[in-house]
Structure formats: C-alpha cells, structure tokens
Copies of this chain bind each other. A is one copy, B any other.
C-alpha cells in the first residue's frame, strides 16, 4: 500500500507519515521501481500505536523510546509503565496548578475592581 492509503487507514495525513519516518519512528519502507513507498499492512499498527501513545500525552521522543524496546521483541510494558507513572505525576502537578489558578481567577472575577485592574494615575 502507498503512503496516502496507509495515512487514510489510520486517520493521519501522508505528510505526517513521512514526518514520522524522518523523525525515526517509522523505518523507511521498501520502494517501488519508481521510488514510491510501499508499506506492508503491519505499518498501520505501528502508527496506531504511536497515536495511542500520543492520546496518553506521551511525546514523540518518549514514544520513540518505547518503539525501540518494542522493536527488540520485548514487551514495552515495563518502560511504558514507568513513563506512564511519571506522566500521572505530571498531570497531578498540572491539575494542582490549574486548580490554584482557577481559584485565583474566581476570586478576581468576584472582586469589584481587581488588583489587576487599577490604572489609577499610571
């Protein structure tokens, strides 16, 4: 299958597939005699794995490291679990930050003229 078909199957753009290849997440596929990329159907799984990981908030760099493990044939579960745990901690930190921010904002909106506001004589 060619790049557009693969991209269509997994719901990304052809450019994105080529980008993943450039970024080292996808091995360069074999080419037809005219130079077109020819993907085996298994290529779709790999991209879906990438998208799944992205949905979980992992960066391409992190995903790349999981793929490296996966490519050795090992289950990437263990390193993935570490990444995910770290990610949960980051999410917790971010949620706390947002919660604090939110209450600051709510306080400020409740005020008549916020501490942010006063343009008195400035």
Could you tell me which A residues sit within 8 Å of B by CB distance? 42, 45-46, 49, 52-53, 56-57, 70, 73-77, 80-81, 84-85, 87-88, 91-92, 94-95, 98-99, 101-102, 104-106, 108-109, 113-119, 122
Q: Would you list 16 pairs from A and B whose C-beta atoms are within 8 A, ordered by A residue?
A: A42-B122, A45-B122, A52-B116, A53-B116, A56-B101, A56-B108, A56-B116, A74-B119, A76-B117, A80-B116, A80-B117, A81-B109, A88-B102, A91-B102, A92-B102, A95-B98
Contacts of A101 in B (CB 8 A): 56-57, 91
Copies of the protein in its oligomer: 2
**Bound-complex Cα distance A72 to B57 (A):** 43
- Name the residue on B nearest A42 (C-beta): B122
Asked if B104 and A85 make an inter-chain contact with CB atoms under 8 angstroms apart, the answer reads no
Do most interface residues of chain A lie in helix, strand or loop, or is the interface mixed?
A: helix
